[in-house]
Structures are given as C-alpha cells and as structure tokens.
Homo-oligomer: A and B are copies of this chain.
Amino acid sequence: MVGYRRYVDLIGELAAGRRLFVSGMTEEVDRCRKALELAMDGEVVSLVSGGDPGVYGMAGLVLELNRVRGVEVEVIPGVSAVNAAASRVGAPLMHDFAVLSLSDLLTPWELIERRIRCAAEGDFVIALYNPRSRRRVEQIVRAKEIIRSHRPGTTPVAVVTNACRKDESIVITDLDNFTDEEIGMLSIVIIGNSQTERHGNRLVTPRGYRTKYADSFQG
C-alpha cells in the first residue's frame, strides 16, 4: 500500500498487516512511481488517495506515468470531497454545478480566472477545491469578486472543512462574507446559484419540482 501519510492513517484497519510506503505532500510523483515499480515486481499494490482518486486525486498521475510501463491499473471511485461537503449542508448540488481548483501550482491563474467567469456566467453552483492556503490567499478574494459581479451578495455559501471526518467544521454564510471565514486546503467552498436557498443550516438548490408540481407541492 502506497499513500500520503494522512490518508493512510485515515483508513487504519485496512492498512494493518500490509507493507506500507507512506510519504508527504508534494511527493505525488514519487508515490505513483513507487506504486508502479512494486506492481512491475509482481505485487498487488493499492495506491491510496483521498476522496475520489479521479477528482484532483492520484488516478490521472499514475495513468500518465504508467504509459511507458503498461501495468494493469484499476481505478476505484470514491466519495469526493465536494460530495461529502454537500451532504453535510443539505443539497446544494441538486442542479448543474462546476468544480474548480483554485491552486495555481499546476495551472496558470489566467485559465482558472476564465473558468470562474464562465461558471459564474452560466449560473452554475460553484464548488472550489484548494480555495486558500497559508501562502496563497489572494485567489479566493479574486474568485469572489468575479462571482459577485454575476450574483447577489446574499447568495448562500457553505464552507466545509474536513467533511465527514474528525475535526469537521461547517459554516453557512453568503457571498459577501465567506472570505472572512477560516478557509484552508482541506476546505471545500460551495457557492449557490441564483436559485439556491438557505433554510436554517441547510442549503438547497431546487431542481424545479416546485414549479412543475405547484398544485400539490405543499400537501
């Protein structure tokens, strides 16, 4: 089993009794390479990823590195952070949504900004991965400005950190105020579309049943 230390720790009992190769953040390439080398030696290897390995996870990188190797790789889907976060605040993703990472470590900021603008123009519910880190604090402010030019400041926003894990924190706020909250690399920010409603501590993006079944909806 190969993985980022934090994620291997999270699945404690599944890791018990296995040969473990754990390493730290930013060592993704080394981990994938190690997993592929072990597989080429005939081992059955689990490469552990947080959430869904296919969403900003390890699946893409290991497949890219495997191109010259040709190891048999099976991708096992999971509950991505955005799905976990959404479940904790109601049903904000009930209608069309866009998922973006604000990290410009591997993506030019111009492209990220263009995507934020398009997602805002399309009235997508917008989910942000990697919204802010200790050193990267301006991107979330710029994202807010862009979205704010398309949606009212009262648009509901959820900030969920460590969704469905120990130390989970949940804040329901709005577009004008969410950047004042504690937001880090383990947070997901979900920004409602023009229809998203807040009811107590729940966000719901209606799908249209109320309009269609108006006669009987309250009953």
Question: Is the beta-carbon distance between B64 and A210 smaller than 8 angstroms?
Answer: yes
- Does A96 have its Cβ within 8 Å of any Cβ on chain B? yes
CA distance A68 to B79 in the complex (A): 30
Chain A interface residue count, CB cutoff 8 Å, equals 71
- Does A164 have its Cβ within 8 Å of any Cβ on chain B? yes
User: Which of chain B's residues has its CB closest to A111's CB?
Assistant: B123
Which residues of A in the span 175-219 have a Cβ within 8 Å of any Cβ on B?
199, 202, 204-213, 216-219
User: Which of chain B's residues has its CB closest to A97's CB?
Assistant: B99
Task: Choose, from A16-24, A38-46, A114-122, the stretch at the interface.
Answer: A114-122
Contact surface of A with B, Cβ cutoff 8 Å: 28-29, 33, 52-57, 59-61, 63-65, 67-68, 75-80, 83-84, 86-88, 90-101, 105-107, 111-112, 114-115, 117-119, 121-124, 164, 199, 202, 204-213, 216-219
CA distance A88 to B75 in the complex (A): 7
